[in-house]
Structure 1
Amino acid sequence: MKVATLGIWLLALILSAPVAAESRWPEQGWQVMPTPLAYEELLEALHEAVEAEGMFVVTEAGPTEAAANRGVTIPGNRVVGVFRNDYAVRILRLSVPAMIEAPMRFYVTENDDGSATLSWKTPTHLLSPYMEAADEELETVARELDTLFAAIAQRATEVSD
């Protein structure tokens, strides 16, 4: 009888243990840059890089602070929407449905070791479903945005010696 009770107790303990979220990123259309920066450092560097590259943070959302307000601790997690009005106007002139992809987002996630990762879906990947129905200029806009997003990411993840 004691063995059965111990078995039930162990099963309950195993089932109640926190499980780490899947950390494998999709391969297609994503750029993922692990960094040695802490979560808050990377978030601050991202904001500075967005401004330095002439873009704007237009949205931010993340569950970390809201979870903390409920007494739940989760790793840092923030989605940062980045865009600029001239790109919005250009895209709208080429494909009204494609604007659902704006603002395009960076994703800052805190890793178990205290470092953070910067990731994003490339603008070309996001806009590719609309390219067939739009003028080929939409691909040009997407590639320009790819270059801008890569420059933002490079600047945000640079580590000073």
Structure 2
Amino acid sequence: MASVITPNASLLLDEQLCFALYAASRAMTAAYRPLLEPLGLTYPQYLVLLVLWQDDGRSVGELGQRLALDSGTLTPLLKRMEAAGLVTRERRQSDERDVEIRLTRAGRALHARARPIPQCLLARAGMSATTLGRLRNNLAQLTRSLASEPEGDNP
């Protein structure tokens, strides 16, 4: 059934980009769950590991910036990862205020076990790698645009 355009169409739930992104984000997180459970990881922990597998030895602030998470969210997550033996948290000698996060041997070992996850998600999505790559790039551009200063866009 085609949607009918009414004067209030812009306030219909199914017309909202924010709702489509919210629903897609929840579905994506749910799709990761069965892939991460055998590794003993939550989705946010997996994101932290992705950053550290690429560039180990990041500060909490750097991780927070890269993952768009505040320290109030990130610190308890990192403490749980430390308790699980995946990372170490140590104050930097150059600046005692900075806490550096490093992978442990167990954290590094998970990299090999996690390697198939992106391909599994690609198959689950039912889209080509090219289509998903374009979608990712468009969402990254949307994020940058929304994060920039607004230019008088009040209603």
TM-score, normalized by the shorter chain, greater than 0.5: no
Q: Between the two structures, name the one with larger relative contact order (CA 8 Å, sep ≥ 6).
A: 1
Greater CA radius of gyration, 1 or 2? Answer: 1
- TM class by shorter-chain length? under 0.3
Structure in which a larger fraction of residues adopt strand: 1
Per the normalisation by structure 2, the TM-score is 0.27
